[in-house]
Every structure is written in C-alpha cells, then in structure tokens.
Amino acid sequence: MSDNDAVLQKLIEALGSNNPRIFESAVELLCDLGPGIVPDLLDALSDCDRAVTIGILAVLAELGPDAGDAIPAVAPLTRSPDEEIAEAARVALARMRGRSTGIAA
C-alpha cells in the first residue's frame, strides 16, 4: 500500500467518526481530492460500517455531478431498511444528477 493509499484509507475511516469536526474535515479533504477518488469510495462502500457508508454518501453528494459514475452503486441504497442510509443515498443521487435537494448532506 502506498502512502497515498494509506492516507486515503484513513480519510475514509474518519468518515465514521462521531466527532463532527473530524467528519467534516474528512468530507472536505476527500472532496478536495476530486472525482478521481470515486472508485476508491465505491470500493470502500462495498465493505464498510453504517457510519462510513453515510459519510461516503455525503462525499458523493458534495462531489455532485462529478461523481455521476457512482449512481449505479448508490441507487440500491435508497431502498435500505436503515432510513438514514436511504435518505443519504437519495440526497447523494439527487446531487449527482445535478438536482438541488434543499437538504444538507
């Protein structure tokens, strides 16, 4: 694992933090990396806990249309039995499709 991969992994793990400052910083830093991280986020999405899933969805929502390649992976999450995941997925999908949700991600 390269240093860059290790840093990216730590940032993705930080999305699961209960500390709002850590969470918000992780979202901001991941967004700063741009849409090139979408494949890494999708890889992590397939094997992460609830909090990290919601965090990844927040990053995808912030990336908006630049994260459009993630739509097929996110769409099934709108049917999650966990309402918070389902709502985060709906917000992410709307923003990836270029729609305003009026809801903070």
3 state SS for the chain: CCHHHHHHHHHHHHCCCCCHHHHHHHHHHHHHHCHHHHHHHHHHHCCCCHHHHHHHHHHHHHHHHHHHHHHHHHHHHHHCCCHHHHHHHHHHHHHHCCCCCCCCC
Domains assigned to the chain: 3-96 (1.25.10)
Entry pTM: 0.90
- pLDDT tens for residues 34-48? 999 999 999 999 888
Q: What is the mean pLDDT of each run of 10 residues along the chain (105 residues)?
A: 84 95 96 95 92 97 96 97 97 91 52
Q: What is the pLDDT of residue 105?
A: 44
Q: What is the pLDDT of residue 47?
A: 86
Residue type, 18: N
CA angle, corner 38, sides to 33 and 41, nearest 5?
A: 100
Backbone angles phi, psi at 20, to 5 degrees: -60, -35
Q: What is the pLDDT of residue 50?
A: 95
Q: What is the pLDDT of residue 20?
A: 95
